[in-house]
Amino acid sequence: MPIPTPFASQPVKILSEWCKADGAMANAYYGVVFDRCADGALELVGLGPAYVQARGLSFYTAEAHVCFVRPVHALDEVVVTFQLIDYDEKRIRTYQEMRHVDGWLAATSEILSLHVDLSMPKVTPFPADVRAKIEQMAAAHATLARPSRAGKHIELS
């Protein structure tokens, strides 16, 4: 199966219970929406719940950086894209954009995930077949421009 470049989620409707009194989505729920998209992208290459159950291996987030660009509100619909931007034998670095269905950028997320053996738990190298799947996704996503917002850090200017 070809790997979408980038992977894009189905539209996600922002639930009213995810929103603050001012109507904007609460920060924590941006993570929920980004996580659901990442789960869908990883499922495409066989790294979803079945992988976790069968192998006892999973991904833990080591670092996350979310940039809030423009708020979304209850009943808005968003689409999230997922791009693998780097990897090594134990880690993947991903970048996601959340866009309103009208096309404007709402938020970005950059994540460093560790591959973990759940029996210990301990960071562990990818098995050869998994590494091949990650390499396949990386090759597909290498055709995309590097996101200009990737690698940002917090600073006062």
Residue 136, domain member (yes or no): no
pLDDT, tens only, 95-106: 999 999 999 999
pLDDT, tens only, 64-91: 999 999 999 999 999 999 999 999 999 9
Nearest alpha-carbon partner for 46 in 107, 116, 146, 132: 132
Residue 109, domain member (yes or no): yes
- The 3-state DSSP class for residue 132 equals helix
Q: What CATH number is attached to the domain comprising 46?
A: 3.10.129.10
Contacts of 79 (CB under 8 A, 6+ apart): 8, 9, 10, 11, 12, 98, 99, 101
Least confident of 77-91, 112-126, 141-155: 141-155
* Domain count across the chain: 1
Boundaries of domain holding 40:
7-131
Residue 147, domain member (yes or no): no
